[in-house]
Structure 1
Amino acid sequence: MLVRLQSKLFWKVATVCVLLYTILHVLVMKPVCMMGVVPLSHYSEYEGVADEPHNLTIVTAYFNLGRFRKGSEGNSFGPDMYKTWGSVYRYMHNPVIFYTDSDDFASVFTAMRFAFPNLTRVIKIDRNDLWAFQWVERIREIYSDPNYPKFHPNTVVPEYTCSQHAKYACVEDAILKKHVRTKYVMWLDFGYFRLITERKRHFRMTLPPHFDDRKIAINQLNYKTLTESPHDIFWNNDLWVGGGLVLGEQSLFVRFIRNYRAAVQRYLDMSLSSTDQQVLFAMFTLRERNILNPVDLQTYVWDVFGSCWYYLGYQCYKELKSETV
């Protein structure tokens, strides 16, 4: 009887130990992705001086698609929301190139960057002049198939899909037209720093820790085998990396964009379309990588509590000392 009780106690203790180990492993090795929480243990300060030479240019854009459903029914995004999210650019001490098809946003962004006239270029553009939007009718054709999966707005609004491809078209345009005068260039979503709109601290975007300029830096969202098929990735709205921030050395970035453009065309020919995130996942699977031979990625994986979508951005975010508004 005593032996039996000891045996039961042993297994109970063992079970608790395994459970605690599993929880500890998750907490230490792969923290839970907590949406809406800034992924920082603390806000780091910039170690240099505010006016020292820049080595990183930010490219961003806003294309007015009106209001559109994002995710679940009743959740919609629109111009006013993006204006609020984009207000963080008022405090960014980096060269910034902003593309838009909206006179209103061109004026708003110009006013927002009033303190940095020499670090700001606003480019008003007809979005149909970008190669990214020249796929719109082919994408519309794919989405018109009633059997094609519907993920709002990724596979519902063709113009939204094109706006995601336009990230790379804008970066390419900025580099090839020599608007970028720094060694490194970063695509940054207009609403990337939506979690700190109330913080109102001056900051500078820097290269992230352990950055390898022979690769393109990007944020990793999930662990994947990279054996998935393009069909499954697009039809399941699957994710591996995020497209909100992409960083690289100028010439390497241009090569990467050419890889990306070829990948989009390849998948459109296969009747597959969605956002840049599905394209990036598909083109770096083991089979597709051998076909497309893209520039290598350097994936950053979150190691602190917070939203894994924004981890890499906050590794680059450094606040300037004694600069508050």
Structure 2
Amino acid sequence: MCRLGSNWTIQGYTILNVSQEETEYMCMWLLASWYHLNHLGRFLHRCKVYNYSTSQDTVKYLLISTADITSTGNITTLLYDDTLSAESETNERRPQTSRDLTVVTAYWDLGSFKKGEKQTFTKSTYLSWASTFQYLINPIVVYTDSTEFRDLMFSLRAKGNLTNQTKIFLVSKRKFWPFRILNQIQSVYRQPGYPAHHPNTVNAEYSAAQHSKYVAVADSAQRNIFNTSFFAWLDVGYFRDIVGTRKNFKLELPPNFNPNSVAFNRVFNSSMTMDPYRIFRQNVVWVGGGLFICSGKVGIEFEKLYQRAVLYFLRQNLMNTDQQVLYAMYSDEGQKVIRPNIGLQIYIPKVNYGNQWFYLGYLCLIKVTE
């Protein structure tokens, strides 16, 4: 029997246990051996939450969507790991160091745009936030179409004596496929009655910039300039709250990281039964897209999966940012049509953590003493 914090791997897929007490979704407990699992057949549909108690653990297992288990035990719909709440966290780190994790970021010059109802983001906003990269000692890969941003990043990394840990690509946005589908995105936003959530469902370039994260990570993984096993996407403004700190830091893999999945930060405990129509049009969030972590191999494959999902939802006349795409593709309904072949590892902030949007980043952040 798997205990809390461990995984089953079957036919190349990972079954991951869950500690959420409030989950309403399809769950099962795996008391069976591999032999028993071979004989389960196709009858696992809407299951309740089952507990298996040992002297040490009470274990729960989550299936996001209808299980499709064949007579040979092949699971064709993926589960996501929702076990890593702060309550079960330890300070354990995997043996890889910050030198084995390439950080990828990008800045695309979109000009000024409205953010939410009260804020306006400008180029100066991002230039200010970028100052934290002077102190991030991981190797980094940067994509931008702005010579001003390129020059700033070169300067910041030089001040931090990190030039040899830096690669910057000055490139046209249109080299990335999300910026080649701007007309399709904008046609969705122009539909009569399509809700205006600034800039998510108003500015097609902003939407494309969010989708391009996965292209950047895949491209970095294919190039693997710094010969690392793992890659982290990091928004330019992710560590905006420590801009004035001016202390060196590094990012390492989070506790219990599963290299076969993509690690994300849960922001809201959103229901997986919500349909994609509502997710996109109501601007609903499940995981945050400001930081995600994966192995190079997984990052390359995940970008293909992500592109397939974006194009599918566009055909349904739905679009928003990557956060809505991720939620929709792993929702009950989304999994039936997208059939994702890569799972997500979800890190859950503790109750009253603070700003839950940035939980995973600070979980991975290690201060570096001089």
TM-score, normalised with respect to structure 2: 0.72
Label 1:233 to 1:297 Cα distance change in 2 as closer, same or farther (>3 A): same
Q: Which amino acid aligns with 1:230?
A: P
Quote the Cα distance in structure 1 between the aligned partners of 2:154 and 2:168: 7
- Are the equivalent residues in 2 in contact too, given 1:46–1:321 (CA < 8 A)? no
The aligned residue for residue 263 of structure 1 is 309
Decide which of 255, 260, 284 is 1:214's aligned counterpart.
260
Deviation of the 1:225 alpha carbon: 2.3
Q: Which amino acid aligns with 1:207?
A: L
Q: Which amino acid aligns with 2:163?
A: P
Counterparts of 1:182-261 in structure 2 under 5 Å?
A: 182-261=228-307
2:126 corresponding residue in structure 1: 82
* Structure 2 contact 93–254 (Cα < 8 Å) conserved: no
- From 147, 157, 172, the equivalent of 1:113 is 157
1:297 aligns with 2:344: yes
Write the distance in 2 (CA, Å) between the matches of 1:128 and 1:252: 24
Higher helix proportion, which one?
A: 1
Structure-2 separation of matches of 1:299 and 1:46? 17
* Partners of 1:305 and 1:109 in 2: CA distance: 31
Aligned position for 1:98: 142
Q: Deviations over 1:267-315 (max 9, x none)?
A: 0000101000000000001222233222100101111521000000000
Paired amino acid for 2:369 = K
Within the candidate set 104, 117, 129, 1:72 is matched to 117
In the aligned structure 1, how far is the partner of 2:177 from the partner of 2:274? Answer: 28
Give yes or no for contact 1:46–1:203 (8 Å, CA) kept in 2.
no
Partner of 1:154 in structure 2?
200
SS at match of 1:246: strand
CA RMSD of aligned residues (A): 1.9
Residue 78 of structure 2 aligns with which residue?
none
Counterpart in 1 of 2:221?
175
Match in the other structure for 1:60: 105
Instruction: Determine the C-alpha separation between the residues in 1 that align with 2:171 and 2:240.
Output: 25
Matches within 5 A, 1:275-294: 275-294=321-340
Q: Which protein has greater RCO, CA pairs closer than 8 Å, 6+ apart?
A: 1
- Aligned equivalents of 1:153 and 1:108: distance in 2? 25
Question: CA shift at 1:180, angstroms?
Answer: 5.0
Change (3 A) 1:47 1:228: closer
Q: Does 1:318 align with 2:356?
A: no
How far apart are 1:46 and its partner, in Å?
Answer: 12
| Residues 267-276 or 220-229, more deviating | 220-229
Q: Is the 8 A contact 2:219 2:300 kept in 1?
A: no
Corresponding position of 2:43: none
Find the aligned partners of 1:179 and 1:207 in 2 and give their Cα distance: 19
Residue 102 of structure 2 aligns with an amino acid whose one-letter code is T
How far off is 1:86 after superposition?
A: 1.1
Q: Contact 2:261/2:344 (CA < 8 Å) preserved in 1?
A: yes
How many percent of aligned residue pairs carry the same amino acid?
Answer: 36
* CA displacement at 1:142 relative to structure 2: 1.3
Q: SS of the residue aligned with 1:198?
A: coil
Gaps of 5+ in 1: 1-39
Deviation string, structure 1 residues 32-52 (Cα, Å, up to 9, x no partner): xxxxxxxx9xxxx9999xxx7
Superposition deviation, residue 110 in structure 1: 0.5
Matched residues, number: 275
Distance (whole Å) between structure 2 residues aligned to residue 225 and residue 141 of structure 1: 28
Q: 1:287 to 1:126 in 2, by over 3 A?
A: same
| Separation of aligned partners in 2, 1:134 and 1:200 | 38
* Structure index of larger Rg: 1
Mapped contact 2:273–2:331 kept (Cα < 8 A): yes
Q: Distance in 2 between matches of 1:282 and 1:293?
A: 12
